[in-house]
Chains A and B, each alone.
Chain A
Amino acid sequence: MKKANYGIVLVFLLLSAFVIYQANTFEQTLIQDDYVGASFFPELLAWMTAGLALVLGWLNFRGKMDDDGRTLADLFPRRMLLALVGLGLVVAYVMLLEPLGFILATIALNAALLPLFGVRSPLVLALFPVIVSLSVYAVFYKILIVPLPEGLFYF
């Protein structure tokens, strides 16, 4: 966890630097900018973020942060691949939403996730994705009148 904490410090310091750099490019637009312009609040936050990140780094260095002894390998184990594959499937799903439409894309997503999670029953694999997709479609699109992506086939 100690290394992970240093990672957090680094990420937030970089974020602060980025925000300060960007905020400095904001143009003055009105006379009231003399007091507090568009960059005022983000810059203030960025400096506070950098300060807090340094405090975290200092506490970590002094051993004042809770350290459960977990290494980076413990925090990011090999089984994390399952979550990454899941994330990949979700990304592919969103890319397919517009061309395929909600119903077909959702069937495809669920049909891909179930085998990943160890579901082997052909009945479940065949029925579950269809039921989930049509149920969500019915509730959101038909009952609550929320428009969903229609795709090439208009559903």
Chain B
Amino acid sequence: MVALLLNGLHTTFSLAIFPFLVLGVAGGIVIGALPGLTATMGVAVLLPLTFGMESTRALVVLAGIYIGAIYGGSISAILLKTPGTPAAAATVLDGYELARKGEAAKALSISAIASFVGGIVSTVMLITISPILANFALRFGAPEYFALAVFGLSIIASISGKSPVKGLLAGMFGLLISTVGLDPVTSFPRFTFGEINLYNGLAIIPVLIGLFALAEAFVQMEKIFEPARTVETDFKRGMVSLKETISLLPVMIKSAFIGTFIGSIPGAGADIAAFVCYNEARRTSKKSKEFGTGCLEGIAAPEAGNNGVTGGAMVPLLTLGVPGDAVTAILLGALVIQGLQPGPLLFAKSPDIVYGLFSSLFVGNILMLVFGLLGVRLFCRVVELPKRIIIPVIVTLSMVGAYSMNNSLFDVWVCIAFGGIGYIMQKVEMPSSPIILAVILGPMAESNLRRAVLMYEGGYSFLWTRPITVVFLALALLSLYSSYKRAHAA
């Protein structure tokens, strides 16, 4: 294995591959940072450019975009309260608060470091224990997926700030939104009112951009004539210190493991992993009360978790030919286009390509860290711009971001509607993050619950007879209980 890895590194650093990896990672960061452009979209858009490339080069470029985009989403999440990708939605909670305190450089640097740790840990796990993880993930049926979704939803209480009840109500609203469109089991149109654009349900990107970016733009419009806040410009002091980084290592590594595990479960992506890691970090932290106010752990955990997914999602892809998330589904297509058949035989037939990919994941994560840290100064200039200049840019990017996913003006109207809803919610101190979490997890919860009930012919015994289901449901109860205790203590 070591010889194959060294050979892979040799390939990665060759002139035929390395420049493409640099371009892939840098391009991925830019794509991720732009609201509305997800890692999936970036990989999908640039996939045709790789058709004519040699197999390893094509995979390296796509993997570079994947790594870069998942990290890039945190840049706009921290600076503009606009998650570039759904995977960065959890980073907004503390990242933006820290930036508001004038410590954007610290938030961005810890985000880059945590993403790096997450990426490296998941790559190591991908190489070493991928077959074990893949076999475990294959034991997931509808009841287990439902329990995983419930566990994810239990996080709502902990990201609801001062009022868990308002947060749960917001979560319910998100779940109700997720039922709009064709019923996943019977295809009956629900809450569509004859509008064909609603048949596929509400797209997450416009909802996310509306709730976070546009709503914040409206709030800032109200305060446009208030004195501007001061921004940290002393970068030596502003960056995260070595001591702080070391103290955050345990939470980063733990989140990376969780992210890798979640990534290895087909269908559970970086967005879910980020929220789960955030909740877990908060649940176990000595500073749990500081979460949501600009806490470093609140940035490190979701960022390590969502980048942990990058390696994890490749586990089932490479070992079983089953994609772990949407991006790896596209990578599966890329492999097939290149004439490769993902699965156990891939390791035997094309070890050079597999280990070339592993090595490029290592090097790609290092490049991401370098670009991330070098770019902090440049990125921070964004928050130094006056509000009257930055708000029109946010509004414009929000509109383009909402439009670009499906090239649909309907999505732009959805974005505006949720901008208005998010604005009112901020006024009445209702958190909007639970809506996003619920919209992400709602379809997974509903379709798998119904499938499970059908499997058990109308019974619910799967809730207590399947071990993995029981574990996830117990974790959900534990999560709710700890949130209740925390709220009660506060």
Contact = CB atoms under 8 A, between A and B. Distances in A.
Interface of A: 1, 4-5, 7-8, 12, 15, 19, 22-23, 26-27, 29-30, 32-42, 45-46, 48-49, 52-53, 55-56, 59, 65-66, 75-77, 79-80, 82-83, 86-87, 90-91, 93-94, 97-98, 102, 106, 109-110, 113-114, 116-119, 128-129, 132-133, 136, 139-140, 144-149
B153 to A, nearest CB: 11
B246 interface: no
B169 A114 contact: no
Nearest to B223: A79
B396 A136 contact: yes
Contacts of B173: 12, 15, 49
Contact of A83 (B34, B188, B218): B218
Given A42-B190, A140-B400, A4 B428 contact: yes
Interface in B440-467: 446, 449-450, 453-454, 457-458
A65 B37 contact: no
Contact of A1 (B187, B223, B403, B429): B429
A32 B37 CA distance: 39
Given A15-B173, A113-B395, A118-B224, A59 B409 contact: no
Chain B interface bracket (under 10, 10 to 19, 20 to 34, 35 or more): 35 or more
A139 B450 contact: no
A87 B454 contact: no
Contacts of A27: 188
Nearest to A26: B188
Most buried by A among B168, B183, B187: B183
Contacts of A82: 221-222, 224
B186 interface: yes
A12 B171 CA distance: 12
Nearest to B186: A29
Contacts of A106: 396
B420 to A, nearest CB: 7
B477 interface: no
A48 B171 CA distance: 11
B222 A118 contact: no
A5 B169 CA distance: 12
Given A49-B173, A65-B163, A136-B396, A145 B188 contact: no
A145 B45 CA distance: 8
A114 B396 CA distance: 13
Contacts of B45: 144-146
B404 A140 contact: yes
A91 to B, nearest CB: 6
Most buried by A among B172, B175, B450: B172
Contact of A22 (B191, B221, B222): B191
Contacts of B403: 148-149
A86 B223 CA distance: 12
A128 B385 CA distance: 13
Given A12-B169, A55-B165, A149-B403, A94 B419 contact: no
Interface stretch (B55-63, B275-283, B363-371, B386-394): B386-394
B35 to A, nearest CB: 11
Nearest to A146: B404
A148 B453 contact: no
Contacts of A53: 169
Given A1-B429, A26-B188, A36-B450, A83 B395 contact: no
A22 B194 CA distance: 13
Contact of A66 (B163, B416, B446): B163
Nearest to B188: A38
A109 B400 CA distance: 13
